[in-house]
Structure 1
Amino acid sequence: MSASPFDPRSHRLVPEQRWFEDFRIGERFSLPSRTMTDAIFLAFQAASGDNHPVHYDVEYCRAHGMPHMLAHGFQVVIQTAAGAGLFPHLVEDSLKAFLEQSSRFLLPVFVGDTLYPALEVDELSPNRSSGVVGLRSTVHNQRGELVLEGRHRYLLRKRAGSA
């Protein structure tokens, strides 16, 4: 049996690539759910340098009327990282830039909450040879409550010859 030579460029999670014109308003990309454990809080504190006790001292939090440690807003935002899902694998050939990100924090997230992030196409702004794909970012908790909403915007190439 003769094996074909290995080509690293063909080693892709998603072989079929997408371009700006392949996206549709309302298309949804679910990201993996994650329970906010003590370990996740510790990792975020180590990575961010955050040192406010509301994010790492459970007794401080209880003394201030909270049931447990409160997640830092950025700890919640990072749950919407597109790289956790399929979107960046779909646009490996067409992605030109991650342009911006914004978020609004609607409800607190505590240790033990399970978060369900998602991205949904809510903007398609064409240019001559590229276009901006806007994604509404949402994070719901285990009770179905929306705890974060925001936006991501990406600049994608159009398919060659479609300009």
Structure 2
Amino acid sequence: MEKQNTEPQTAVAPAEFDPDAFLVVPARTFEDLRIGEVFRAPSRTLTDAHAAAFQTVSADNHPVHYDAEWARKHGHSAPVVHGLQVLAFTAPGATLFPHFIGEVFVSFLEVSCTFLAEVHSGDTLYPALTVTGLEPKGSNGIVVTAATIHNQRGQLVLSGQHKYLLRRQ
């Protein structure tokens, strides 16, 4: 039987904590980004509670979003999740993208999208931002990303584009 060490352990003093140095991922610059890079968001399964919360925040009270009978009578298999709620899953903050570019981020310039298929409670969404353009503009640069969301069946339910303004080095 091994003898256990009962000597008091000497603690090593931790380095002084600097909140400004606490990065989730290493910071990147406009020049570090590459066409084709993908920034994914965690998958998320939508529930009735998510839809109800968004309905409250958005003030959108159209029955297609909450009334199963109304939705069926009008050609839908179930209540349809709000389109803007689906789009919100492509928000940069839903991915690690803003953590990479936080030091050089200036503004979110533009968003556009096309809703390609209905999303219902119980669907699992897989959002991603793919860098498709890097446009230097003087001391700044515009990053263009394709915003996509697939569902659990591999169906593309949203396709869009975001543009961000970043400071250049």
Give the whole-Å Cα distance in 2 for the aligned partners of 1:71 and 1:93: 34
Q: Which of 125, 131, 142 pairs up with 2:152?
A: 142
Give the whole-Å Cα distance in 1 for the aligned partners of 2:77 and 2:138: 52
Say what the alpha-carbon RMSD is for the aligned residues: 1.1
TM-score between the two structures when normalised by the length of structure 2: 0.89
Q: Does 1:112 align with 2:106?
A: no
Q: Does 1:122 align with 2:118?
A: no
Give the whole-Å Cα distance in 1 for the aligned partners of 2:95 and 2:87: 15
Mapping 1:9-88, distance limit 5 Å: 9-14=20-25, 16-88=26-98
Q: Deviations over 1:34-56 (max 9, x none)?
A: 11210110111111111101001
| Ranges in structure 1 where 5+ consecutive residues have no aligned partner | none
Q: Deviations over 1:86-116 (max 9, x none)?
A: 1000011110111111111111111111111
Which amino acid letter does the alignment assign opposite residue 72 of structure 1? Answer: H
Give the whole-Å Cα distance in 1 for the aligned partners of 2:107 and 2:20: 20
Structure 1 residue 67 displacement after superposition: 1.8
Structure 1 residue 122 displacement after superposition: 0.5
| Ranges in structure 2 where 5+ consecutive residues have no aligned partner | 1-11
Q: Does 1:97 align with 2:115?
A: no
Structure 1 residue 4 displacement after superposition: 2.5
TM-score between the two structures when normalised by the length of structure 1: 0.92
Which secondary structure does the structure 2 equivalent of 1:89 belong to?
helix
In the TM superposition, structure 1's runs of 4+ consecutive aligned residues that sit over 6 Å from their partners are: none
Which amino acid letter does the alignment assign opposite residue 146 of structure 2? Answer: R
Structure 1 residue 18 displacement after superposition: 0.7
In structure 2, what is the equivalent of residue 131 of structure 1?
141
Q: How many residues align?
A: 158
